[in-house]
Amino acid sequence: MKTQGAAAVVFGGASGLGAATARRLAGEGAQVVIADLNADLAAQVADEIGGHAQTCDVTNSESVQAAVDLAAGLSEHGLRISVCCAGIPTPAKLVGREGPTPLETFEKVITVNLLGTINALRLAAGAMVANEPNEEGERGVCVNTASIAAYDGQIGQVAYAASKGGIVGLTLPVARELAGKGVRVVTVAPGLFETPMMASLPEAAREALGSVTPFPSRLGHPHEYADLVAHVISNPFLNGEVIRLDGAVRLAPR
């Protein structure tokens, strides 16, 4: 899929991995919609890259559809690229000091991370299948964001690991379903990256976290995630796969 001139939507595109991806796609000539719950940050990124901001809650169908429609209208070829980076961490143990953690705590994380991804995926793909295919027969590509927590989640990551594991699990069946329609689906599972969540930690803590990564022994840079997304978009033979982007790190129990 060619990025130049393509319409793209990045859910969760106002910060972190999503903002880096929006910048990369715009730099390659895409018309990018930054769809994010944080309207102010979305507008800042949109102004910076010459894109379009759309306030978006991935758990709300009308909100996601509005972002998809905006992106689809930016090109005569329709929406071609969708990247979903929206998610929340919210750590919580299954059983805390005061007993079982309220179910609502887990429900919110799974609703945003897993159902939000499904919501963005279904509506973006729904728009893509109506596109005219390119010379490779492609109509679009959807990139989801999981986490290495899907494979080696730590204590306190009950809902987060479950939600990201769900994204890993849906990748192949959705890719198989959409294959006949020319829409590819790939998931990236990042390791420890420099994100707004990490930025809130002291420098010593960030360095300690980065040092556990075998090589390179540091936190990942958001542009490295964006680089991989750009390659996924450009490589038509990448489909139905989950790619760990983690410097060979495996998370300890805690």
**Using one digit for the tens of pLDDT, what is the confidence trace for 121-139?**
999 999 999 999 999 999 9
Higher pLDDT, residue 76 or 210: 76
* Residue carrying structure tokens 């730099």: 27
User: What pLDDT was estimated at residue 111?
Assistant: 98
CA distance between the termini of the chain: 40
User: What pLDDT was estimated at residue 200?
Assistant: 66
| Res 52 pLDDT > 80 | yes
As a whole number, mean pLDDT of residues 35-41 equals 97
User: What pLDDT was estimated at residue 42?
Assistant: 98
How long, in residues, is the chain? 254
193 DSSP β-pair partners: 220
Determine which one of 11, 106, 160, 193 is catalytic: 160
User: What pLDDT was estimated at residue 249?
Assistant: 95
User: Does a cis peptide bond (omega within 30 degrees of 0) precede residue 216?
Assistant: yes
Could you give the domains of the chain?
7-190+222-243 (3.40.50.720)
Joined together, the tokens standing for residue 24 give 């990369």
Q: Full-prediction pTM beyond 0.75? A: yes
| Res 157 pLDDT > 80 | yes
Higher pLDDT, residue 184 or 91: 184
As a whole number, mean pLDDT of residues 176-181 equals 97
Q: Is 160 a catalytic residue?
A: yes
DSSP characters over 109-163: HHIIIIIHHHHHHHHHHHHHTTSPP-TTS--EEEEEE--THHHHPPTTBHHHHHH
pLDDT tens-place string over residues 197-231: 777 667 776 777 788 999 999 999 999 999 999 99
